[in-house]
Amino acid sequence: MAQILTKAQAEAVYSAMCALNNVNALISAFIRTDSGKFIEIHDEGNGIALWSKEVDLPGKETHADQSAFAAAYGLQTGD
């Protein structure tokens, strides 16, 4: 599956998700790319969705939960 985020972006997003878990909150964020476009990231409690309008990136990416997101990007989850 093509991925929207770089590894560094995914690490930052995952870190923010984990921090938000500590206060019972979900992430809803935008990442600005080098070309000035935005990637949207939303965790609605029933999955994580990412959208991009970048020409060279896939348009949408979804993950069942935070663990699936971490696995897709090869992030260590400490489990």
Reported as a single tens digit per residue, the pLDDT across 32-50 is 888 888 899 999 888 999 9
Domain boundaries, the chain: 7-72
Overall pTM > 0.75? yes
Query: In terms of DSSP H, where are the helices of 1-79?
Result: 7-21, 66-72
Q: Residue 49 forms beta bridges with which residues?
A: 42, 62
Rounded to whole angstroms, how far apart are CA atoms 42 and 28? 4
Asked if residue 77 has pLDDT above 90, the reply is no
Which pLDDT belongs to residue 13? 95
The answer for 74, left when phi > 0, alpha when psi is -120 to 50, beta otherwise, is left
Which pLDDT belongs to residue 28? 95
Rounded to whole angstroms, how far apart are CA atoms 21 and 35? 31
Mean pLDDT estimate for the chain:
88
Backbone angles phi, psi at 2, to 5 degrees: -70, 145
C-beta separation of 73 from 10 below 8 A = yes
